[in-house]
Amino acid sequence: MQIKKILAFHWSPVNNTKRIKKNGIRKNKNGLYCFPLTESHYVDKFWVDLLNNSNKKEYNGFIFKLTESDMPAYFGNWLGATNKDKFEKEICDLKTLKKRV
């Protein structure tokens, strides 16, 4: 069975919401930093709490579908790379990503 899509969060400061709703989420030359949506409410809510409680800014999470055309990708934890960093994108398909999540 081929996996056709996986849902992911892209976290962005609240002041970017209007622009993202108008123009969509755009990746830069290094890609887009996002987090796969898990089946765990506690894991997914962790990011909301962490970002909104540890920063001076408030964040909104935008949920979108990852497709094969979005690959290759890199997914890390909050200590990992951001889209400002250059890094090797080791996940080349949705099947590999599904195994990692």
Dist CA 35 CA 7 (whole Å): 9
- Mean of pLDDT values over 70-96: 66
pLDDT value, residue 39: 78
pLDDT at 86: 65
How many other CB atoms sit within 10 Å of the CB of residue 34? 23
Residue 65's H or E segment, with its range, is strand 59-66
Residues 6+ apart with CB under 8 A from 11: 34, 35, 47, 51, 59, 60, 61, 62
pLDDT in the model for residue 19: 94
State the Cα–Cα distance between residues 24 and 10, nearest whole angstrom. Answer: 11
Alpha-carbon dihedral sign for residues 78, 34, 14, 59? negative
The mean pLDDT value for 83-101 works out to 71
Q: How confident is the model at residue 18, as a pLDDT?
A: 95
pTM for the whole structure: 0.66
- Summarize pLDDT for 13-58 with one digit per residue, the tens: 889 999 999 998 877 776 677 777 877 888 878 877 877 777 677 8
Tell me the average pLDDT across 57-76. 78
Share of the chain above pLDDT 70, in %: 74
For residue 37, CA distances in Å to 9, 23, 33, 47 come to: 6, 22, 13, 11
